[in-house]
Amino acid sequence: MIRFSREVNAARRGNTPIVALESTIISHGLPRPKNLEVALEVEHLVRKAGATPATIALIDGVIHIGLETKELERIANDDNVVKASTRDLAIIEANQQSAATTVAATAHIANLAGISVFATGGLGGVHRGHTYDESADLLALANTPIVIVCAGVKSILDVPGTLERLESFAVPVLGYQTNKFPGFYLTDSGYEIEHRVEAAADIAAIWSYRFELKTSNCAIVVANPVKNQMDLALHNRILEEGLAAAEAAHVTGKAVTPFLLEYFHAQSGGESLRVNIDIIKSNARLAAEIAIALPR
């Protein structure tokens, strides 16, 4: 049912740290040809930090944990690769399709394989103006014991609404060296986080206490702010225009997030792309540190 790459197989046998990486950011989050370059670079950073990268996707109906270069190229460049959330997984298997996995689907698969740490760019969440449009990422976080390193929720979303949902689902949110909840392209979304951690070891301690307390059924969100944020005025202008453009084009369902991200990349003259790449690299590095610190 699941195929592991050679290096992930070796890491499993040796019980060495593994970092799960999502693939929707490659297929639907970053423009070609930069997407493939970034995906390879992110894997390289995880290795350099002393862990094994496990990019997760479905190829011809088979779940892959860890992709060989040819498979990564396929996810990056093939128009037939769809965006898969958890509900799509069994259907894609049955239809022998290829798919990139969202945060929700990646977390689910990583957990199936006993991988405890996962890096992404920004979480999905509650959408602005359509609060009934809530990413399946939230429910997955509520049900999956995994540490997820992100730069907060995407600033295209309803940030306070998403934070409230995380509270309802009892998902802990830890600010990495900050008490300001990051906003993806922005270092500070304007909302506070109660709990702050300074180092990977602090997260490992919390991870262990959760097992004793039996509060370990959900994810731990580690919010790692981008250092060099997007220009705020530019960000706010593009966001407003992007939301209006999505509305006008009647974009719905799983197309909304890719539409808005692409709008940013097209309108910001490379700024949003630069920040998005910074984010995913920095999150991958931190995720590797955490994977090394966690008990195995």
| Enzyme catalytic residues | 22, 154
Per CB under 5 A, 73 contacts Mn ion: no
108 binds, among ligand PSU, Mn ion, none (CB under 5 to 8 A by kind): none
Which range of residues in 20-28, 50-58, 108-116, 226-234 is near ligand PSU by CB under 6 A?
20-28
Q: Which stretch binds ligand PSU (CB under 6 A): 131-139, 163-171, 172-180, 193-201?
A: 131-139
Residue 294 exposed, middle or buried by CB count within 10 Å (0-12, 13-18, 19+): middle
Which one, 116 or 162, has the nearer CB to ligand PSU? 162
Buried b (16+ CB within 10 A) or exposed e, 206-235: bbeebeeeeeeebbbbbbbbbeebbeeebb
Nearer Cβ to ligand PSU (24/116)? 24
Counting contacts by CB under 5 A, is residue 231 touching Mn ion?
A: no
SS3 of the chain: helix, strand, coil, percent, to 5: 50, 20, 30
Which residue(s) pair with 118 in the sheet? 20, 148
At closest approach, how far in Å is the CB of 151 from ligand PSU? 8
When the beta carbons of 133 and 188 are compared against Mn ion, the nearer one is 133
Dihedral sign from CA coordinates of 107, 111, 114, 116: positive
Of 90, 75, 87, nearest in space to 29 by CA: 75
Site for ligand PSU contains 235 (CB under 6 A): no
3-state DSSP call for residue 4?
Answer: strand
Asked whether position 261 contacts ligand PSU by CB under 6 A, the answer is yes
Does the protein bind ligand PSU through residue 257 (CB under 6 A)?
yes
Angle at 208 between CA 18 and CA 189, to 5 degrees: 75
Binding partner at 147 among ligand PSU, Mn ion, none, C-beta below 5 to 8 Å by kind: none
Using CB distances below 5 to 8 A depending on partner kind, what does residue 72 bind out of Mn ion, ligand PSU, none?
none
Contacts of 196 by beta carbon, 8 Å cutoff, 6+ apart: 174, 175, 176, 177, 178, 179
Q: Six-digit token pair at 291? A: 């994977």
The H or E element spanning position 3 is strand 2-4
Pairing state between β 195-197 and 173-176: parallel
Residue count of the chain? 296
Taking the complex as a whole, the smallest distance from the CB of residue 295 to ligand PSU amounts, in Å, to 27
Asked if 133 interacts with Mn ion (CB under 5 A), we say yes
Q: Does 102 bind ligand PSU (CB under 6 A)?
A: yes
Is 29 a residue that touches ligand PSU (CB under 6 A)?
yes
Answer for which of 86, 224, 276, 282 binds ligand PSU (CB under 6 A) is 276
- Residue 215 or 252 with smaller CB distance to Mn ion: 252
Which residue ranges make up the site for ligand PSU (CB under 6 A)?
A: 22, 24-25, 28-29, 102-104, 120-122, 124, 135-137, 254, 257, 261, 276
Q: Which residues bind Mn ion (CB under 5 A)?
A: 133
